[in-house]
């Protein structure tokens, strides 16, 4: 059997961080004189810090320098994660079964390293390879992060199972040539050729051949 690997997104897939991001974004935008909504949050789903900051500044009534807004946002979300970061249903169990199956696995996130490190410290989750926004020149939906993860883990993208919850993430993994399993969180993701869509990580199983829907 040829080697395969599993590449995991983080926000919205393994951790239920979207409510925390909404709280952090709402608090920061209140400082800028603007009411933040869930519709605004959906515009940022699966994107980079730079894109989030640009969008938020375009909405701001009292603009501040981009680096100031970024500092406020990251300080707020990291403080919230350190207090509590709930895992998505089935996350810990699936990661454990991936490890038991002997599958190399990577974390592939568009988040900054400071946030990723805070999440890993709070949850105790472990990966063979870590790829975050600081490691690439272009974040999701660009394929660079998935291509880098596949290179670092030593498995061709076509033999990597990429698990994602957002359209940006799905686009990134598909452009890299990975086998994509979508587990939508905030925004619906339709089935497509070569793409598997499930409702929850609880619907997936791991064996030495990769990740598959239960019963499939």
Annotated active-site positions, please?
A: 9, 11
Pairing of the two strands 195-197 and 179-182: parallel
Q: How far is CA 153 from CA 69, 72, 108, in A?
A: 34, 34, 12
Are 128 and 106 spatial neighbours (Cβ–Cβ below 8 Å)?
yes
Which of 67, 7, 65, 57 lies closest to 36, judged by CA? 57
**Upper half-sphere CA count for residue 28 (Cβ side, 13 Å):** 27
Alpha helices in 34-154 (DSSP H): 38-44, 49-59, 66-83, 91-100, 113-123, 144-153
Distance CA(125)–CA(155), nearest Å, equals 21
How far apart, in Å, do the first and last CA atoms of the chain sit?
19
Which of helix, strand or coil describes residue 196? strand
| β-bridge partners, 162 | 7, 180
Which of 16, 10, 43, 9 lies closest to 29, judged by CA? 43
């Amino acid at each position: 059997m040829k080697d395969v690997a599993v590449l995991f997104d983080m926000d919205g897939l393994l951790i239920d961080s979207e409510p925390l991001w909404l709280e952090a974004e709402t608090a920061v935008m209140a400082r800028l004189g603007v009411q933040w909504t869930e519709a605004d949050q959906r515009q940022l789903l699966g994107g980079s810090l730079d894109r989030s900051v640009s969008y938020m500044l375009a909405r701001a009534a009292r603009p501040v320098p981009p680096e100031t807004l970024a500092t406020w946002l990251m300080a707020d979300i990291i403080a919230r994660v350190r207090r509590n970061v709930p895992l998505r249903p089935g996350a810990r169990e699936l990661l454990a079964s991936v490890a038991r199956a002997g599958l190399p696995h990577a974390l592939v996130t568009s988040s900054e390293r400071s946030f990723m490190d805070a999440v890993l410290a709070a949850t105790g989750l472990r990966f063979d390879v870590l790829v975050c926004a600081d490691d690439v020149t272009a974040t999701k939906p660009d394929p660079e992060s998935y291509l880098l993860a596949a290179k670092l883990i030593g498995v061709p993208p076509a033999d990597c199972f990429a698990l994602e919850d957002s359209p940006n993430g799905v686009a990134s993994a598909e452009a890299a040539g990975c086998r994509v399993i979508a587990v939508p969180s905030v925004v619906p993701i339709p089935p497509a050729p070569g793409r598997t869509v499930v409702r929850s990580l609880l619907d997936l199983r791991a064996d030495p051949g990769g990740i598959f829907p239960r019963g499939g």
